[in-house]
Amino acid sequence: MTTAETSPTQELLGQGYTLIGGITTDEEAAEALRGFGALMPQYDGQLRYQVKAAPGFEDRRYSKSTNTILVHTEAPGWDPPPRYLALHCRVQARCGSGQTELADAYAFTASLGEAERRAVHGEGIDWVGHNTGGTGTAGVRRPVVERTPGGRDVVRFSYNLLTAGHYDPPVDADVPADELPLGALGRELAVRAETFFREHKVSVLIPENSVLVWDNHRMLHARSSYSDARRHLTRYWLQES
């Protein structure tokens, strides 16, 4: 995606994501990411998380399943969430799927009506801080869009949380609206976001030995389902230096 006229940093600032090739080792990945920020611990306390299908998650929308993962931002319960996410492809799925999908959350919120924009900027949601493993922060109460003291918006989003009350629910979860973090309003917002996402997303089948980096405060992301369980990526979180 990067051209001779644009640097990865310029692409990241301009379109919200960039793809860097020629990365074969963990050390090379860390060096390539150094210019964007400092690596930070993830849910398990480690700087690297292996995104690879594993037994026991077949019925969940989770990174270690092969299922579709619906639209979200990473670690919305962190304060602040990681600024950037990076995925280093070690083994690409040979089934032609497993794409990382991205869309601009700023454009989504700008597309909403006045009442909906008031809700996403003003209605607090309890974003729990842990994932399936139960590790992480205690969580925060924030709106979907939080304006920082510096004037930049931080977007927190989880289709799963708003429609099922859990970040990694069973694929057939059906939760009454009165048990959801933002009730029927949150469920409708999630459906609107998913529709916008499907209409405007960029799908990236990350090449092997390449790293996809995106702005987690701005970009919504998802993942298509896949069948080749050899697929293996290493995930990094970055905080601003």
How high is the mean pLDDT of the chain? 93
CA dist 214 and 13 (Å) reads 9
Contacts 24+ apart (CB under 8 A), 6-9: 8/35, 8/213, 9/35, 9/36
CA dist 29 and 42 (Å) reads 16
pLDDT, residue 168, reads 87
Instruction: Tell me the CB-side half-sphere exposure of residue 183, using CA atoms within 13 A.
Output: 5
pLDDT, residue 195, reads 97
Q: Which residues contact 222 (CB under 8 A, 6 or more apart)?
A: 68, 69, 70, 71, 72, 100, 101, 197, 201
Beta bridge partners of 10: none
Tokens 């609206």: give the residue.
Answer: 177
pLDDT of residue 70 exceeding 60: yes
Q: Which residues contact 212 (CB under 8 A, 6 or more apart)?
A: 17, 18, 19, 86, 87, 89, 100, 204, 206
- CA 213 from centroid of its chain's CA atoms: 11
For 125-138, the pLDDT digits (tens) are 999 886 545 555 77
Confidence of residue 224 (pLDDT cuts 50, 70, 90): very high
| pTM assigned to the model | 0.93
| Distance (Å) of CA 186 to CA 49, 60, 150, 151 | 30, 21, 27, 25
> Of all residues in the chain, what percent carry a pLDDT higher than 90?
83
pLDDT, greater one: 135 or 87: 87
For 165-208, the pLDDT digits (tens) are 999 888 888 999 999 999 999 999 999 999 999 999 999 999 99
